[in-house]
Amino acid sequence: LVYIIRNVFDKALTENGYNPISFLNWLRRNNRIDAPDKRFDRTKRIGGMPCHCVVLRIDNSDISEGF
């Protein structure tokens, strides 16, 4: 699993011309995120502080060799 802070995720997608909500819907439809039914993110403590994070499901076949 890969945790990405939601604000960072949204900003990166928006700056590159993508709609974060549309992309999160696609990820959910394709079972690529770990999130409750009504949300796209989970709360994760980072340095003791709670943060909303997008949790991506990544397996070894998703990573190209040499990455």
Question: How large is the angle between the packed helices 20-29 and 6-15, nearest 10 degrees?
Answer: 110
* Secondary structure class of 14 (helix, strand, coil): helix
Look at the alpha carbons of 54, 32, 40, 36 in this order and tell me if their dihedral is positive or negative: negative
**Per-residue pLDDT, 63:** 63
Note the pTM of the prediction, 2 decimals.
Answer: 0.81
Tell me the pLDDT band of 8, cut-offs 50, 70 and 90: very high
Report the distance separating Cα 24 and Cα 4, nearest Å.
Answer: 12
Report the distance separating Cα 20 and Cα 35, nearest Å.
Answer: 15
Instruction: Give 11-67 pLDDT, tens digit per residue.
Output: 999 999 999 999 999 999 999 999 888 899 999 999 999 999 999 998 766 566 665
The whole-angstrom distance between residue 29's C-alpha and the CA centroid of its chain comes to 13
